[in-house]
Structure 1
Amino acid sequence: MKSVSSEQAELLGIKAVHHEMDNGEKRFRLVGSDGSSYIRTESAADGAWQNSHFHERMQEIYIVEKGWIAYAELTDEQELMLRLLTKGESLHVPPKRPHNIYMPPDSVTHVVKFGGDPQIDPDWFAATALDRLTLNLSERELRERLEAKREEGARQ
């Protein structure tokens, strides 16, 4: 097996791009020239919501490596739908689906983005209606809603 340097990878259309986000998360990305990417996200010291968004063509697969996350989605009826994902669970998000993620402290996710179109760059569009429903939702309120949903599902 032969190593590929970062410079060689870039010549092949793969870049390493890493950031500390405004919410304190650390994101470590490998980004392809076709718009596909792999992202490892490590949560902030305090839990935080990301920014609600959707993609025109990209699809995403979220995988929880450590801890848990809350997935929020804006339904076609403009209602908030919440889902809890724990270690080892995954979720597929199709194009045009407004969504957001809450990551509590000590959580790690992997996200695979694929199916984009290099002509739509970036294929990321704010979903402000979902932000209005999620960004002020505290971790305590979020856990209460998720627990109530779980109990309701158990009764059915």
Structure 2
Amino acid sequence: MALTADRNTPSRSGQQFSYPLAAAKLFAGSIGVINSSGYLTKGSTATGLKCVGRINAQVDNSAGNAGDVSGEVENGTFRWKNSAAADAITLAEVGTVCYIVDDQAVAKTSGTGTRSPAGIVVDVDADGVWVRMGRDAL
């Protein structure tokens, strides 16, 4: 049914979200992903993970059941550790997709189909790789 009066439409900034947590412990500042069951967990070398951003605060559900608690993630551009050797990301990869190695590192390739996308490479410096990640990155 179409509006016939003004509507107070709720909104979100689109930067921070809270998701039900897998049975895991996540550290602040780590890569956050949604697993195939729909729960927030830490980044790892695996397929089928959906990168949702950076974990904002440590949260521990390792002794609980999936969904017992929630964890906060933030969308944005963050600096992560660079992979090594042939999988190290260089300035030539700016604008391309990079892949999750673990909860703090990214790589140039999918590791022959074993890694999930992390986001888009924005910059590379001596300290790591700047990656745009979250809901609008891929």
Please give the TM-score of this superposition, normalised by the length of structure 1: 0.25
**Structure 1 or 2: larger helix share?**
1
